[in-house]
Structure 1
Amino acid sequence: MRPRQFDLIAFDWDGTLFDSTAIIVRCIQAAVADVGGRVPDDRSASYVIGMGLMQALAHAAPDVPPERYPLLGERYRHHYLAHQHDISLFDGVLPMLHMLRERHHWLTVATGKSRRGLDEALRSTELHGVFDGSRTADETAGKPDPKMLLELMREFGVEADRVLMIGDTTHDLQMAVNAGCASVGVSYGAHEPDGFDALSPRYVAHSVQALHDWLQAHA
């Protein structure tokens, strides 16, 4: 059997495993409207996906004064909670994860979601118990700071050259670069893949099936 190349595989959540990009964009836009800010267009709202919540909202609504950020965050959470059960895993995610587990990779999540939000998502899907570890933006530094990956590497005792980060945004891939890790981009999430080239991912997958096939052959 071919030796595996990566011991630890870190996945972004929204737009990579979870088909949530469109709903997150609408929730950001609704939250900004609620506090009287200039509503960002779809491209601007999707660009901030993957960042920590307050960092993302501040970037998406630069005309909203900082003293209104707590209300902005509250309104985003209100809209997201109203729609969170409308979101599902991309087709093919579970078979892909089970394939990787059978090959004894450590599977982790590195996400801009909050710890509470990630734990709720894990409880509400068939993913409970699939992942060996995770980091969220509110318990460490947000992307593209490498701290999430560095903490996971320390937790599992894995060197950077044995770690693969998979995500749908330039924030994910830049985090991998900053941590000294390899990356794979997916084009079906929040960011257009033309921005990935400068960050040198090993591969850009245009579907979950393509990602599955690449991981099976190369991870």
Structure 2
Amino acid sequence: MAARQFDLIAFDWDGTLFDSTAIITRSIQEAVRDVGGTVPSDVAASYVIGMALMPALAHAAPDVPVSKHAELGERYRHHYIAHQHDIVLFDGVLPMLAELKARQHSLTVATGKSRRGLDEALHAVELQGVFDGSRTADETQGKPHPRMLHELMREFGVAPERTLMVGDTTHDLQMALNAGCASVGVGYGAHPTDAFDALQPRFIAHSVAELRDWLRQHG
């Protein structure tokens, strides 16, 4: 196994570790329908995954007035909560994380979810203790602003050149670029990979198995 290149690895959650893209997309569409907006396409709804919730919903439903944004957020949460226990980790995620822990990487989560949402997800899949730290969109700046990564690097005392961001959206990769960090894109989540190259990822993994193999050799 190759020598470790990164001390800190930050993972996006939805669409990277957690197989939630379809449920989030449907929940956005149903929420917009509930408040009388123009229902976004699958592509438009999935594009905003990874952003903080209200900016994401506003982007996906530009014709919904600001006066209805609170209701829009409530309807999204209603639909998501109804299906959140249907969501599972992608196959292979747990052994990949265990292998990285064994190599003494600091493992963190940088997500557009809320703190409550992430904590519930971590509890549901019994991942307590796997991650050394995390940042959520409601406690810092949302992606692609680099603040999440800046805060995690400061917390763990790790320089940008020793930090890797792994995510499934252009928001994740742009955040890494903005923070001066390396990134790996995954092609099994919310965004098509044709937009990834401009954001300079070290690698694009099309499965968890490919991601695990790359991290084994280059992480």
1:205 has 2:195 as partner: no
Cα deviations by residue, 1:5-27 (Å, 9 ceiling, x for unpaired): 00000000000000000000000
State the SS of the aligned residue for 2:185: strand
- In structure 1, the residue matched to 2:134 is 134
Q: Which runs of 4+ in 1 moved over 6 A?
A: none
CA-based RMSD of the aligned residues comes to: 0.7
Report the residue type matching 1:80 in the other structure.
Y
TM-score, length basis structure 2: 0.99
- Structure 2: distance between partners of 1:218 and 1:161: 13
TM-score, length basis structure 1: 0.99
- Structure 1: distance between partners of 2:165 and 2:155: 16
The 8 Å contact of residues 52 and 142 in structure 2, kept in 1 or not, is answered as yes
- Structure 1: distance between partners of 2:122 and 2:106: 17
- Structure 1: distance between partners of 2:93 and 2:110: 16
- In structure 2, the residue matched to 1:16 is 16
The 8 Å contact of residues 205 and 211 in structure 2, kept in 1 or not, is answered as yes
- Structure 1: distance between partners of 2:178 and 2:190: 21
State the SS of the aligned residue for 1:185: strand
**Structure 1 alignment gaps of length 5 or more:** none
- In structure 2, the residue matched to 1:193 is 193
Report the residue type matching 2:14 in the other structure.
D
State the SS of the aligned residue for 1:91: coil
Report the residue type matching 2:143 in the other structure.
K
TM-superposed deviation, 1:203: 0.2
- Structure 2: distance between partners of 1:201 and 1:126: 30
TM-superposed deviation, 1:2: 4.1
- Structure 1: distance between partners of 2:177 and 2:2: 26
State the SS of the aligned residue for 1:108: strand
- Structure 2: distance between partners of 1:48 and 1:197: 19
- Structure 2: distance between partners of 1:108 and 1:4: 17
- In structure 2, the residue matched to 1:214 is 214
- Structure 2: distance between partners of 1:178 and 1:155: 18
State the SS of the aligned residue for 2:71: helix
TM-superposed deviation, 1:129: 1.0
Cα deviations by residue, 1:163-208 (Å, 9 ceiling, x for unpaired): 0000000000000000000000000000000000000100000000
- In structure 2, the residue matched to 1:175 is 175
Q: Residues 151-166 of structure 1: matches in 2 within 5 Å?
A: 151-166=151-166
- Structure 1: distance between partners of 2:128 and 2:122: 5
Cα deviations by residue, 1:67-100 (Å, 9 ceiling, x for unpaired): 1111000000000000000000000000000000
- Structure 2: distance between partners of 1:149 and 1:75: 30
State the SS of the aligned residue for 1:165: strand
- In structure 1, the residue matched to 2:42 is 42
**Structure 2 alignment gaps of length 5 or more:** none
State the SS of the aligned residue for 2:17: coil
TM-superposed deviation, 1:3: 2.9
Q: Residues 49-60 of structure 1: matches in 2 within 5 Å?
A: 49-60=49-60
Report the residue type matching 1:27 in the other structure.
S
Report the residue type matching 1:106 in the other structure.
S
- In structure 2, the residue matched to 1:80 is 80
| Percent of pairs with identical residues | 76
The 8 Å contact of residues 2 and 217 in structure 2, kept in 1 or not, is answered as no
